[in-house]
Chain A
């Protein structure tokens, strides 16, 4: 992980998580395209993207004069390996199965 603090900070904000979801749905968008999904100023979106990029969650590439933003899932894989996989996965599976069963008795 480049810097775990940057990663957790980047993930701590709902607008930045929304941006990741928007990129997951459609990868490789310009700033203008991303702005249409969020009810905030262009500057605010630029700032959020900057923090996502610093955390290596967003990678950018130039295509001619357009800067495209891509979701980079690699730090999430590292976060998973460091903070989830090692902590008693079978027990967590049992708990999430129980939660699913209790919350959706028919599903």
Chain B
């Protein structure tokens, strides 16, 4: 299988509607996605982009499939780092399934090549982003303010 796939699963005590809003509202994503705005009209075929606070586009693509509040598939092309951009399109599926008092969020990120640097790069990011999202939805506070811990002055 000439494919790199990573799967992330997190259970969040919330409703599918609230989680959907948290994933698709750029003002909200900015709060837990380390300042990144996930911008799109969220219709099939709409452009999608992930933009930082300075307006720089890190990732761009389009909404391939959308079924609120259950599932969205994004074509995801990294734009910022040349060696990652060269790998071309990856695909990110977000699936929301209610399970008792929580919602199971499954993120599947795939690219059609082995040992992908794009997938390696996102693999460090997703667990932190999801953990922050969970804390924000459940407790109204973030787990991490920065993706990488700044060294404390001692």
Q: A-side interface residues toward B, CB under 8 Å? A: 2, 27-28, 56, 59, 61, 70, 72-74, 76-78, 81, 85, 89-90
Contact of B154 among A27, A85, A90 (CB under 8 A): A90
Is B30 located at the chain interface by the 8 A CB criterion?
no
- Indicate if the CB atoms of B6 and A70 lie closer than 8 Å: yes
Q: List 15 A-B contacts (CB under 8 A).
A: A27-B5, A56-B10, A59-B9, A61-B7, A61-B108, A70-B5, A70-B7, A72-B9, A73-B127, A77-B130, A78-B131, A81-B143, A85-B144, A89-B152, A90-B154
Chain B nearest CB: distance from A90 CB in Å? 5
Chain A nearest CB: distance from B8 CB in Å? 5
Query: Majority SS of interface residues in chain B?
Result: mixed
Chain B neighbourhood of A70, CB < 8 A: 5-7
Contact of A72 among B5, B8, B151, B152 (CB under 8 A): B8
Chain A neighbourhood of B149, CB < 8 A: 85, 89
- Indicate if the CB atoms of A74 and B151 lie closer than 8 Å: no
Chain A neighbourhood of B9, CB < 8 A: 56, 59, 72, 74
Interface size of B by CB at 8 A reads 23
Give the residues from 130 to 154 in chain B that come closer than 8 angstroms, CB to CB, to chain A.
130-131, 134, 143-144, 149, 151-152, 154
Chain B nearest CB: distance from A88 CB in Å? 9
Cα–Cα, bound, A59→B106 (Å) = 9
* Shortest Cβ distance from A76 into B: residue: B127
- Indicate if the CB atoms of B131 and A81 lie closer than 8 Å: yes
Cα–Cα, bound, A70→B8 (Å) = 9
Chain B neighbourhood of A90, CB < 8 A: 151-152, 154
A74 and B131 in contact, given A56-B11, A90-B154 (Cβ under 8 angstroms): yes
Bitwise, B1-21 to A at CB < 8 A (1) or not (0) is 100011111110000000000
- Indicate if the CB atoms of B128 and A59 lie closer than 8 Å: no
Chain A neighbourhood of B5, CB < 8 A: 27-28, 70
Can you name 13 extra interface pairs (CB under 8 A) apart from A27-B7, A72-B9, A74-B127? Answer: A2-B11, A56-B10, A59-B9, A61-B7, A70-B7, A72-B7, A73-B8, A74-B8, A74-B10, A74-B130, A77-B128, A78-B143, A85-B144
Give the residues from 102 to 138 in chain B that come closer than 8 angstroms, CB to CB, to chain A.
106, 108, 123, 126-128, 130-131, 134
Q: Which 3 A-B pairs have the closest CB atoms?
A: A77-B127, A70-B7, A59-B7
